[in-house]
Amino acid sequence: MKLPVPLLRPSDPFPDPSAAKRDGLVAITRDLTAERLLEAYPLGIFPWTENPVTWWSPDPRGILPLGRLHLPRRLAQTIRTGKFRFTINQAFGEVIRGCAQPAPGREQSWIGPKFVLAYTELHKRGHAVSYEAWQGDKLAGGLYGVKIGRFFAGESMFSQVRDASSAALVFAAQTLQEEGCRLFDLQMVTPHTARFGAVEISRKEYLELLRFAVG
């Protein structure tokens, strides 16, 4: 029986994502490694499930235009009060494990043990980043993603305190803009990220933007 998408061996390269169907499923692998991630993201491909590992490049694609970031009024007031302090890469392991935990509206997480191991290794290599929001010495929330050149892919976020993940997202977006980031990838637009100005663009436009961002 022929699979609708290729099952890749560890040495096989990814197929051209621009040729994928509209749903964006590009390939299937049994392996999920830092090497695979470093190959996939510059091509506009990301993993979404663990057993098997499925790789995607959907059309349309969600992005956050950093120059048009919208800050909801109530959240802006919360941030101005100094309720949270923010850090970068001070608690990557805690953040990714927090994102892997079930939460209201997310009873099951795609972030399983393979994801945690692969992205933690990617973090050690300097290409997976966490942005944290703290209350005192307690991690209140945060997000993590992949950073290559002037490209950032936001992977997941979590909160233990109201507004913590949203505040961390704003901190990440502002920091990335200051660093010259050209593309903030969200994979898909959700009602939550739409509040911050997230938009959908075609896969073709996304891949063009990506080429300049990672180059």
What CATH number does the domain located at 62-214 have? 3.40.630.70
> For residue 207, what is the enclosing H or E element?
helix 203-214
DSSP 84-136: -EEEESSSHHHHHHHHHS-BTTBSS-S--HHHHHHHHHHHHTT-EEEEEEEET
Instruction: Give the C-alpha separation, 77 to 48, whole Å.
Output: 35
What CATH number does the domain located at 7-59 have? 3.30.70.3550
Which residues of the chain does CATH 3.30.70.3550 include?
7-59
Instruction: Give the C-alpha separation, 175 to 181, whole Å.
Output: 9
The partner residues of 32 in beta bridges, in order of sequence, read none
3-state secondary structure of 16: coil
Cβ atoms within 10 A of the Cβ of 96, count? 23
Q: Determine contact, residues 122/129, Cβ cutoff 8 Å.
A: no
* Under-70 pLDDT residues of the chain: 1-3, 103-108
Model pLDDT, residue 106: 57
Model pLDDT, residue 180: 97
Instruction: Give the C-alpha separation, 80 to 177, whole Å.
Output: 19
Pair of tokens at residue 138: 């307690």
> For residue 174, what is the enclosing H or E element?
helix 164-178
> For residue 37, what is the enclosing H or E element?
helix 34-40
Model pLDDT, residue 198: 98
pLDDT digits (tens, 9 = 90+) for 195-206: 999 999 999 999
pTM above 0.85, yes or no: yes
Q: Where are the beta strands (DSSP E) in the chain?
A: 7-8, 25-29, 46-50, 53-56, 61-63, 85-88, 128-135, 138-148, 151-159, 183-187, 199-201
Instruction: Give the C-alpha separation, 50 to 40, whole Å.
Output: 15
Instruction: Give the C-alpha separation, 116 to 96, whole Å.
Output: 7
Which residues of the chain does CATH 3.40.630.70 include?
62-214
Pair of tokens at residue 108: 């099951």
Instruction: Give the C-alpha separation, 170 to 172, whole Å.
Output: 5
pLDDT digits (tens, 9 = 90+) for 95-122: 999 999 976 665 567 899 999 999 999 9
